[in-house]
A and B are shown apart, each in its own frame.
Chain A
């Protein structure tokens, strides 16, 4: 299935093409960027061997260009590869048998984590097991102190004995995290040397090299996850590379990272942890692009509605959001990656979310999902739960005969039957009103999730746009925007493949940091200057190798009040810090930011500056404006009968998304549909096709739902 925003072939002779490929749990999305813009292709994912799905998508793309795969690939300059859920799937099935080496006396770092619990009255969930079993955890006789002093010298004889046992146990990877290796890595380095010498071919990860942070659990967890991915991911990436080249690809292979940029595939193989959650991390990149293109730089709430999850992020002042706490799996029940990442929050809400009524008569939607198997009741694969998709069908939003471009026929009767039994009867509502209630609760769950992060980050939704991506975004995104008070909802043309599109728009990113403690009341400007100079030298080295693209550099300092343990990031004007006036400005910015975020600040207090960081982004090439003229004619629109709250069954116009010309305004209620998504334009709103291809929906008159 293909959705095209371009005019004809993008790979005519001589034309260079870039490709992004996002392997998700259900679909593999491929986006091709050529001179005429983006084209989107979707194939079904094949979890057992992601290559099959990728090749299938490539074949679709090649066919659309009237070329063989080989001649199509010959024009491809770069491939950016992301795995939305792929890494998680690999983790459940394919992570290596990994051993964990740590300081004697501290075997249970991975078991204990940092404590904490989400649902304290839920006694049906046992405490999660450690990422590496205790049986594969080994205590190394050694100890460093907090200031890097050797408290106990490394016992190399004992260490060699441990490594012999690793060989006996046939471990496939080794993670090493010794206490205080971030201050004095000598012991950890030595352990690495012995591992390299004695366990040839077995990959290992040293915690201080991978992730030099204080807090042993986070560092250990990062090392363990990373090491466990190495055998598989380096194999996978090598295989992908070889396969693409065998098919005729001669360009550069990049891998999308959880930090919203991409790195060379070879670098990813060295530290595969960066691929965890890589797909969702670039969705905000696409969202930012849309916001830049279609608004005058408004803040954007970027939402990607999939089948099971709703991935959210905020783009503020054109910056991607960050979090220092990234979990693989659930918070407190999964494992912390220990890395900052693009802050993408997920809640269990999407097209496959199951609706249910509890004993008190309250309606819930999710977090459980019917998944792809058995799927919603209307898939007719034995699903017996009412899902959001079933409700969208019952409300007439979806046409049973044209779902996914007609590839799958939906069973409307099954959906209605299921909604009636599970929802309508217990709530004493009609089937349609029950289905509407489900969409309302879904909307609220999504609104709550957005409000939590907007509030946390001090963004006013009324001044932000909602960028709605994902195949299931169209059912309720306009309602979400209305509830939030957002002035507009933007449905990007490539919205159904937001992550893959984001990968094509991502920058080549380099992040550098220097830990240099400083206090504002006893400032040592020269040490700060030295740290910033070192930082800027690192950045310069990177940008020198980066090629001719435009480079954007952000500097910031992580600062806090004395005795706090969580820093906030204060942007710096640049890497120059010359005078105490420059410092005073940073301190003032810190107080202001603390006041804004936390409603208090302590202007009389000094501040502590902990780490100085910079991020250099080599801008991806600009995407040419997309020509839309001269396209093949699309099936004429028509009308569809949909159920509207307060108005009942209503005939509304149906417009094929691709044939809506730029500048066209469509008054709600209406349906705008493509082969990959269905957008409901509710009453009291209107949709406008922008020159970029984006569909913008805005309220008309008094906003009320």
Chain B
């Protein structure tokens, strides 16, 4: 541990903590508002949303319960662009921003940005609310259009910092336009209002805070908070050994990719003495002629996720801790260099997962106790965008992304995975749909949902098992779109840990037989047919032969793994009562261990 940590002790520790909490509390209020008032299942059930506060100098200051892929990097870049486009914001302004070429994630994430302006007319902060939309007017009924050659074929409406409110009132031109180009426009309108409400709540609270303690004091707090965060980050990085390592993670072949898929290479260099880390994404292919390109924001955020997941929970994530991080990107690279008109429809999900996974695996390679295994990859058929008409309600149209099953948690140095993780982008923050709510809202039935035995990423600490669900329409035909990575390339383990279960997708025909379906694209399901959707598990951390035998027996008792797998993979032998046979286990583990 650093000997000089107390030399950097903050001047007024209680005040620093106080204001940090107050700001985080504001971000949390914003997120709560969005969650409770949204209309699409994505927002009000799955919670695919984020809220944060930025300084007027475009630095990320505070966030709460927000998706890492939405906030760690992106809002800062968007804020810079917004200032370039609207240099003199006024109270009552609000801006809609979803351009992946100017700091956003994929176009389906609509962000509302509101400048917070004090009584003297000075722009002090910007509040930011973002949510994944059920539809954004794409040419296909999906917000993940992987086969789109470019943004034109993708069809997304792009709003590069477009003003949508003036004097606290909607600019109706934009609303009319969206209502004609976005499917199920009332749903979009409700979600738009929820975003506005969240941003206005944030504005209201931040104005009160600034007026209470003084704007200069609040800005001084931001500076102190960044300095504090930087010190925390340096202290964390100094625990890592210096070194340079490269990890690779391969995305499955999709339309528009080479037949062997897309390998993503991430090189991590740690300077432990200086407390710095540099991550290089430049050794990767140029933009792809499909929707898989990753925006600058998403690529950087994925790197940040890999880093922060690797070093521990308590280091604040903001512009201060970022001073210890350098990310190298390359113009026109498919990860981080996407430029117009390359499509970024899958920017948040597919290759972004590869970046985050490779980053945390690379760090795991540096030293025991750091990093993580690979998390599951997406977008599986259990998270499809479904659409159609609902015969129960006068054939009204519906569209939404399901969050029926996601079990992608990665094995960690000292704990098993967080099961209900979507991927590196949410780290478990997204909720799972309720079967009953989905069946109430859409004309579908969920036949089954659960985890699969023997599909965990085996390790000293295990990655999550694969999940499976099966669902189909109860009325008219229903479309389901997905972009399921991990069918070929499983989530990898680290430090001797094994890979987690792969994804898979089938159509169950009326006679009960199964037909494989393409992992990427859309299928139409007719009444009587179901989609069998398997989502990835996560990789394991450490050698499964080092897993505590008691954990293995518990896994067997709970039907997470079979007794056969306990022996073959973990080297644990159970006695007739299901308890550890210690002698036999020691002998078996000795036999299974490679002779060194």
Contacts and interface: CB of A to CB of B under 8 A. Distances in A.
A510 to B, nearest CB: 27
B459 to A, nearest CB: 13
B558 A135 contact: yes
Contact of A106 (B18, B21, B406, B449): B449
Contacts of B413: 123
A363 B6 contact: no
Contacts of A108: 449-451
A114 B232 contact: no
A145 B186 contact: no
A451 interface: yes
A197 interface: no
A94 B25 CA distance: 37
Interface string A576-610: 00000000000000000010011110100100000
Contacts of A151: 445
B9 interface: yes
Contact of B37 (A105, A120, A564): A564
Q: How large is the interface on B (under 10, 10 to 19, 20 to 34, 35 or more residues)?
A: 35 or more
Contacts of B15: 440
A215 B44 CA distance: 13
Contacts of A217: 434
A434 to B, nearest CB: 10
Given A111-B419, A448-B22, A215 B6 contact: no
A215 B434 contact: yes
Given A106-B448, A115-B430, A134-B558, A428 B439 contact: no
Contacts of A563: 39-40, 186-187, 190, 441
A296 interface: no
Contacts of A437: 13-14
B312 interface: yes
Nearest to A442: B14
Contacts of A88: none
Interface string A672-696: 0000000000000000000000000
Contact of B436 (A105, A126, A214, A359): A214
Contacts of A566: 35-37, 44
A426 interface: yes
Contacts of B35: 566
B13 A427 contact: yes
Given A359-B2, A361-B5, A456 B13 contact: no
Interface string B174-211: 00000000000011011001101110110011000000
Q: What is the predominant secondary structure among interface residues of chain A facing chain B?
A: loop
Interface stretch (B26-34, B53-61, B83-91, B136-144): B26-34
Given A441-B17, A563-B190, A106 B9 contact: no
A452 B26 CA distance: 8
Given A106-B449, A426-B9, A565-B44, A112 B420 contact: yes
A432 to B, nearest CB: 14
Contacts of A121: 308-309, 312-313, 317, 427
Interface in B418-434: 418-421, 426-432, 434
A196 interface: no
A444 B436 contact: no
Contacts of B592: none
A329 interface: no
A120 B428 contact: yes
Contacts of B549: none
A151 B187 CA distance: 30
Given A112-B449, A151-B445, A117 B22 contact: no
A362 B448 CA distance: 49
Contacts of A362: 10, 13, 16-17, 228, 232
Contacts of B313: 119, 121-124
A168 interface: no
A179 interface: yes
A598 B22 CA distance: 19
Interface string B293-308: 0000000000000001
A426 B5 contact: yes
Interface in A408-462: 425-428, 437, 440-441, 444-445, 447-448, 451-452, 455-456
A117 B235 CA distance: 26
Contacts of B403: 115
A304 interface: no
A157 interface: no
Given A114-B431, A135-B559, A598 B14 contact: no
B417 interface: yes
Contact of B418 (A112, A127, A451, A602): A127
Contacts of A107: 450
Nearest to A485: B212
A363 B435 contact: no
A117 B449 contact: no
A116 B433 CA distance: 11
A49 interface: no
Given A359-B1, A361-B228, A444-B21, A116 B420 contact: yes
Nearest to A452: B25
B372 to A, nearest CB: 6
B419 A358 contact: no
B68 interface: yes
B450 A179 contact: no
Contacts of A216: 434-436
- B28, B434, B461 — which one has the most chain A CB atoms within 10 A of its CB? B434
B416 A126 contact: yes
B9 A428 contact: yes
A705 to B, nearest CB: 10
Contact of B450 (A106, A448, A565): A106
A123 B450 contact: no
A267 interface: no
Contacts of B115: none
A426 B451 contact: no
A519 to B, nearest CB: 11
A382 interface: no
A363 B187 CA distance: 46
A245 interface: no
Contacts of A594: 37
Given A106-B450, A214-B440, A564 B205 contact: no
Contact of B415 (A106, A124, A441, A452): A124
A105 B445 contact: no
A278 B41 CA distance: 34
A463 interface: no
A598 B33 contact: yes
Interface in A12-55: none
B120 interface: no
A127 B8 contact: no
Contacts of B1: 359
Contacts of B10: 360-362
A451 B25 contact: yes
Interface in B466-480: 470, 474
A566 B446 CA distance: 22
A426 B417 CA distance: 35
Contacts of A426: 5-6, 9
A133 interface: yes
Contacts of A455: 25, 29, 205
A125 interface: yes
Contact of B429 (A116, A599, A602): A116
Given A451-B25, A599-B200, A215 B450 contact: no
Across the A-B interface, give the 3 residue pairs with the lowest CB-CB distance, nearest first: A105-B448, A361-B9, A120-B427
30 contacts: A105-B446, A105-B449, A105-B450, A106-B435, A106-B449, A114-B432, A115-B428, A120-B426, A120-B429, A121-B309, A123-B309, A124-B412, A145-B439, A145-B445, A146-B439, A216-B435, A357-B6, A359-B235, A360-B5, A360-B8, A360-B235, A361-B6, A364-B17, A425-B6, A451-B22, A455-B205, A563-B186, A594-B37, A600-B197, A602-B193
Given A116-B428, A358-B232, A455-B25, 4 more contacts: A111-B419, A214-B434, A359-B231, A447-B18
